[in-house]
Amino acid sequence: MEVENRPFAERLLVDGAEVDRRHGVLGSKLHAEVPEGGGTASIDARLDIPLWPPGLRCTVTINGAEVHREVKGSRAMLAFFIGGVCAGCLLACIIIYVFHKG
């Protein structure tokens, strides 16, 4: 089983075959019914962007039970997050200084 995230497309592959695809809808649920033994297994995968840690979170459930969760992040996303926090702190300090001075 593999969940693939490409620009403007998310794909769910089982045994190398594509079973579900969404185009450019990050956060949507990919779903597949796969034969298992005498019945079927329901596989759901969801890709979204969490607030922390910065990155791309993938959650996979089989028959409603979570079996895998991981967050893959890049250094660029972490640098962007830290830069935003620093800029926010600097802005807050300037606002406090201006209103405290006056």
Q: What is the DSSP letter of 82?
A: H
For range 11-18, the mean pLDDT:
83
Beta bridge partners of 56: 72
pTM: 0.60
User: pLDDT at position 9, please?
Assistant: 76
Please say whether the beta carbons of 35 and 20 come within 8 A.
Answer: no
Q: Give the start-to-end residue ranges of the domains of the chain.
A: 2-73
Tell me the CA end-to-end span of the chain in Å, nearest whole number.
62
Distance between CA atoms of 68 and 95, rounded to whole angstroms? 44
Please say whether the beta carbons of 29 and 36 come within 8 A.
Answer: no
Question: What is the tens place of the pLDDT at every residue in 19-67?
Answer: 888 876 567 788 888 888 888 999 998 888 777 766 778 888 999 999 9
Count of CB atoms within 10 A of residue 30's CB?
21
Average pLDDT of the residues of the chain: 82
* Cis omega (within 30 of 0) for bond into 53: yes
